[in-house]
């Protein structure tokens, strides 16, 4: 094997790829589960009563406001607080991430900040609401208008993983792939059998393709999703989660393919 290839690959690239696989897997951990905690209250029908006038010629209707249930208000306020806390944690994670591609970081910061602002205002409204019927509708909007756990937080974690693989792991794999192929060519020129390395590199090419398909343009499409889209289709995030999982598995397999190729080239 050429000294350059040995120095580049044996000294650590395979271990680096394996470490990248562990990191990528960590990026799509529990934060992507997307399990929404829903706090809603049943709408209370408005009570009305009609008062009959002394004559059939006129009728007067008087409506009464449904009282606010203090327990329902408390549940709604707790739900808002939990979501705002989670969003602040996500914002800190976004700002501490150093590998976002293009405008992904700015877009995520805007999405998260918008939800914090909206939920804060909604919390103020709920805290001063005097109509039980309106309070029930406002409580339902905590989920239907924001989808923090089902959409916003998965977007943060999945985009982090996608950008890490597309901007770091994938270019590294492509560089290693080129060096391995150069090594195989030199081995062949020396009359040595490089069938094992060639098969391993073929496998590496396949894993690189899987990662490329799973990450190319994916972040932009994911960030375009809205709560309304999720309300219409609860599985709208599932393809992105599955794509990232496939890319992480491919990254892990790529590390094994590299190790096999290196062993054959020694």
- How do the domains of the chain map onto residue ranges? 3-27+66-265
pLDDT, one tens digit per residue, over 127-148 is 999 999 999 999 999 999 999 9
pLDDT over 70 (residue 228): yes
Mean pLDDT, to the nearest integer, of 115-132? Answer: 98
Listing DSSP states for 5-19 in one string gives HIIIIITTHHHHHHH
The owner of tokens 């406001």 is 65
With a pLDDT cut of 70, the percent of the chain lying above it is 76
Q: What is the pLDDT of residue 21?
A: 52
Q: What is the pLDDT of residue 194?
A: 84
Listing DSSP states for 139-189 in one string gives HHHHHHTT-IIIIIHHHHHHHHHHHHIIIIIHHHHHHHHHHHHHHHHHHHH
Q: Which two tokens stand for residue 101?
A: 């591609």
Asked if 73 and 129 touch (Cβ cutoff 8 Å), the reply is yes
Q: CA separation (Å) from 200 to 186, 205, 247?
A: 16, 9, 18
Q: Is 191 helix (H, G, I), strand (E, B) or coil?
A: coil
Q: Which two tokens stand for residue 37?
A: 């905690």
């Amino acid at each position: 094997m050429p000294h350059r290839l040995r120095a580049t690959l044996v000294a650590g690239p395979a271990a680096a790829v394996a470490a990248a696989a562990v990191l990528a897997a960590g990026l799509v951990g529990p934060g992507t589960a997307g399990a929404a905690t829903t706090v809603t209250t049943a709408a209370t029908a408005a009570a009305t009563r009609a008062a009959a006038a002394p004559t059939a010629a006129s009728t007067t209707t008087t409506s009464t406001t449904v009282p606010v249930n203090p327990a329902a208000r408390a549940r709604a306020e707790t739900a808002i607080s939990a979501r705002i806390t989670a969003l602040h944690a996500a914002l800190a994670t976004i700002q501490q991430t150093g590998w976002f591609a293009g405008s992904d970081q700015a877009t995520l910061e805007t999405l998260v900040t918008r939800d914090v602002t909206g939920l804060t205002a909604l919390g103020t409204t709920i805290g001063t609401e005097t109509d039980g019927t309106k309070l029930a509708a406002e409580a339902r909007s905590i989920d239907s208008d924001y989808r923090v756990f089902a959409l916003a937080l998965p977007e943060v974690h999945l985009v982090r993983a996608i950008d890490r693989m597309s901007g770091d792991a994938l270019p590294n794999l492509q560089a290693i792939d080129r060096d391995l192929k150069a090594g195989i060519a030199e081995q062949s020129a020396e009359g040595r059998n490089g069938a094992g390395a060639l098969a391993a590199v073929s496998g590496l090419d396949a894993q690189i393709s899987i990662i490329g398909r799973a990450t190319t343009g994916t972040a932009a499409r994911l960030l375009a999703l809205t709560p309304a889209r999720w309300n219409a289709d609860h599985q709208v995030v599932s393809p992105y989660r599955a794509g990232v999982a496939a890319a992480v598995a491919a990254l892990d397999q790529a590390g094994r393919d590299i190790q096999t190729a290196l062993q054959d080239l020694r």
